[in-house]
Amino acid sequence: MVDDEQQLAEQLAAAARVAGYAVDSAHDDPRADFLARTEAYDAVVLDLGLPGVDGLSLLRGWRVGGLTLPVLILTARGSWHEKVLGIDSGADDYVAKPFQVEEVLARLRALIRRASGHAQAELTAGALTLDPRSARATLVGSPIRLSSHEFRVLSYLMHHQARVVTRTELSDHIYERNLDRDSNTVEVFVARLRRKLGSDAIETIRGVGYRMGRPGTRT
């Protein structure tokens, strides 16, 4: 979350955390640039009116440097030609201030969903369904109670069902940068998910990591 208005950035970050995301914040261009180049984010919300380097210049630098992460521009510059300039500079979407938080979260969900190759709003794996809009999961139609970290692990695995996800990668995506990251705790969350979803829910790939299974489909 990149915005020099710290109160606004923290309000958005708090709403995103409630929606199930781990969020890092930057309030100036040097920190934003450092984080974007050193962390594997699922998406960036970028304000254009930053002190120092303009947000568009920051975005162009990311794209020239080969960073393909989805970027949602959030700014008071709302004219159509400024929106076109933002998109042509490498943004994936654009929201003008003032805005509704629900709209920003909906656009973020769409960016993350499309970036991981999913067309539908709900994610499915066997008889398991996860709805990022409500941060809820159901198995064979019955709701599953999940802690925030269990939801983050499950959500990331379901977004990336086509490949094996390493423990380190999972750890990086369920914890915010200012928190201690311990890949060993990922095993704890995976074990809890298996107890709730079934032993076939998450497959362990020895020496590598985990892959989403198809819970509820075995007889």
Domain boundary (69, 96, 115) is at 115
Given a contact cutoff of 8 angstroms between Cβ atoms, the answer to whether 170 and 186 are in contact is yes
Q: Are residues 97 and 25 in the same domain?
A: yes
In a domain, 1, yes or no: no
Domain boundary (86, 115, 144) is at 115
Number of domains in the chain: 2
Q: Are residues 20 and 111 in the same domain?
A: yes
Given a contact cutoff of 8 angstroms between Cβ atoms, the answer to whether 74 and 95 are in contact is yes
For 144: left if phi > 0, alpha if psi spans -120 to 50, otherwise beta; the answer is beta
| Count, residues in the chain | 219
Q: Are residues 86 and 21 in the same domain?
A: yes
Average pLDDT of the residues in 18-35:
92
Average pLDDT of the residues in 88-113:
93
In a domain, 219, yes or no: no
Distance between CA atoms of residues 124 and 138, nearest Å = 10
Q: Taking the CA atoms of 62, 6, 105 and 187 in sequence, report the sign of the dihedral they define.
A: positive
Q: What is the pLDDT of residue 51?
A: 83
Average pLDDT of the residues in 13-19:
92
Q: What is the pLDDT of residue 219?
A: 44
Distance between CA atoms of residues 131 and 133, nearest Å = 5
User: In sequence order, what are the residues at sequence separation of 6 or more whose Cβ sits closer than 8 angstroms to the Cβ of residue 36?
Assistant: 44, 62, 67, 69
Q: Are residues 78 and 132 in the same domain?
A: no
Structural domain span for residue 102: 6-115
Q: What is the pLDDT of residue 67?
A: 95
In a domain, 218, yes or no: no
Q: Are residues 83 and 169 in the same domain?
A: no
Given a contact cutoff of 8 angstroms between Cβ atoms, the answer to whether 111 and 44 are in contact is no
CATH number at residue 32: 3.40.50.2300
Is the pLDDT at 84 greater than 70, yes or no? yes
Q: Taking the CA atoms of 63, 113, 102 and 176 in sequence, report the sign of the dihedral they define.
A: negative
pLDDT digits (tens, 9 = 90+) for 116-172: 989 899 999 999 999 999 989 999 999 999 999 999 999 999 999 989 999 989 988
